[in-house]
Each structure stands twice: as structure tokens, then as C-alpha cells.
Amino acid sequence: MKMKTLAFAAALATLGTYATFQAAPATTYIDAASVGAAFAKGAPLVETGGYKIHASRRDAPGQAEIHQRDTDIIYVLDGTATVVTGGSIVEGRQLGANRDEVRGATIRGGVAQRLRKGDVLVVPNGVPHQFTDVQAPFLYYVVKTTSGDGR
């Protein structure tokens, strides 16, 4: 029995888990009416220090952008749009006091791809991206995971 206890303790230590367990964090529930209202105008649903979930809506093309710390995980719900990724931003500038985001006029040298309902696109932090051709309404969830060190 002592060997099993030691083996269990070693397994927990290896996983970075210890005998002291913490209470689970609170869950977040957002009802369908609130989600629908967020998609009607395009709005954040949840924003924390570690992640953000946005009910995004595009009715027109947007600026080129780079997020230094956020990785965007995009799931398309409705509509189609062309997104350009990679390359470099033309006339880039930092967004206000937010040093983690750069916006610009367009992207030079990127790769264009068409997104449609059901597609998933992951844009790692540091990668320029821009929605260029949008057939409205273009609705998509964006889960933004935030890196603590900007990588």
C-alpha cells in the first residue's frame, strides 16, 4: 500500500498537481438572447486577462492588424469574407495606449483565402491579418488567447 501511495504522489508531482486542490473557477453562462444581441452589432461576450470571446460581425472590410499577444481562433457562423494573412502592414501604427496592437492601411505580400460558414482560422499572435472582401453579414466567433510574454 505504501508503494501505491508513493507512486501516486510521484505521478501527481510529475503532472504539476499537488495534494492541495483548489476550488474550480466560476463558469460563465451567456443566454441565447444576449449572444444574438452581441452578433447584431458585433460585441465582446467575455474578456479576461487570459482570453477573450467576441461575437464578431463584419459588414465591410477592415484595417490590417497585428496582435502582439493575442492569438485569434476564428469560427465562421455565417457569410463569406476574404482574409489576408502574413506579409507586412503598410502604414502601421500602434493603437492608442495599447502597445500590443498595430493597425494599418493594408497588407503587402500576404496570402488571401476565402472564409465561409463552418471554417476555422487560427491567426497566431504577431501575424498580420486583414478582412478585405466581406459579403455582409459576416458573423464569426473569435476566441483570443493571450500570451503573457508577447510570443
pLDDT classification of 151: cutoffs 50, 70, 90? very low
User: Is residue 88 in some structural domain?
Assistant: yes
Q: Any residues with CB less than 8 A from the CB of 98 and at least 6 apart, and which?
A: none
Which amino acid does the sequence have at 45? L
pLDDT over 90 percentage in the chain: 75
- Which tens digit of pLDDT belongs to each residue from 83-136? 999 999 999 999 867 678 999 999 999 999 999 999 999 999 999 999 999 999
Distance CA 144, CA 74 (A): 9
Instruction: Output the pLDDT for position 69.
Output: 92
Instruction: Output the pLDDT for position 15.
Output: 55
CA distances from 41 to 16, 94, 118, 120, 136 (A): 43, 25, 21, 21, 12
User: Is residue 37 in some structural domain?
Assistant: yes
User: Is residue 126 in some structural domain?
Assistant: yes
Candidate from 17-21, 29-33, 93-97 with smallest mean pLDDT: 17-21
Instruction: Output the pLDDT for position 150.
Output: 46
Find the domain containing 44 and state its range: 31-146
User: Is residue 19 in some structural domain?
Assistant: no
Can you give the pTM of this predicted structure?
A: 0.80
> What is the domain count for the chain?
1
User: Is residue 48 in some structural domain?
Assistant: yes
Instruction: Output the pLDDT for position 14.
Output: 55
Candidate from 24-28, 29-33, 103-107 with smallest mean pLDDT: 24-28
User: Is residue 78 in some structural domain?
Assistant: yes
User: Is residue 87 in some structural domain?
Assistant: yes
Residues 73-85, mean pLDDT to the nearest whole number? 98
* CATH code, domain with 65: 2.60.120.370
CA distances from 147 to 69, 75, 102, 116 (A): 5, 20, 16, 28
